[in-house]
Amino acid sequence: TQDALRDRDGAEVVVAWLVRAAGPGKRGETLRLARPRTVVGTGSGCQLRIDDKYLGAEHLSITERGGTFSVAPVQGQLKVEGKPVSAERPLVDGETLEFGQGQFVFKAIIDG
């Protein structure tokens, strides 16, 4: 994350990540998201693979368009701020996502 901010050369910088807040794995772990779309799951084709027996092969996706992020379930259940999500919805810095056995905080920096 810090490297992305250092190498900016006046260009727009969009960096997003998930921070593990609860569940299996190391609490506080930072999981960087790819742009423009990150598929999260257990499958080999996912940009963000998480070892969790309750995740689908392609569980959810997080997409960035013009500095705005959205999240959508693909093959699994997803909650944002404790509410079930059944279709694509906007995602705001600091919101909590629950999927599989984990709980994650979405963080984003948009500078440009």
Summarised one tens digit per residue, pLDDT across range 4-19 is 544 545 556 688 999 9
pTM of the prediction?
0.86
Contact 53, 92 (CB under 8 A): no
Q: What pLDDT is recorded for position 14? A: 80
In tens, the pLDDT along 76-107 reads 999 999 999 999 999 999 999 999 999 999 99
pLDDT-derived band at 35 (thresholds 50, 70, 90) equals confident
* pLDDT at position 65 over 80: yes
Query: Stretch 58-73: mean pLDDT, rounded?
Result: 95
Q: What pLDDT is recorded for position 1? A: 45
What is the end-to-end Cα distance of the chain in Å, rounded? Answer: 16
Q: What pLDDT is recorded for position 5? A: 47
Sheet containing strand 48-49, strands side by side:
48-49, 37-41, 60-65, 68-73, 89-91
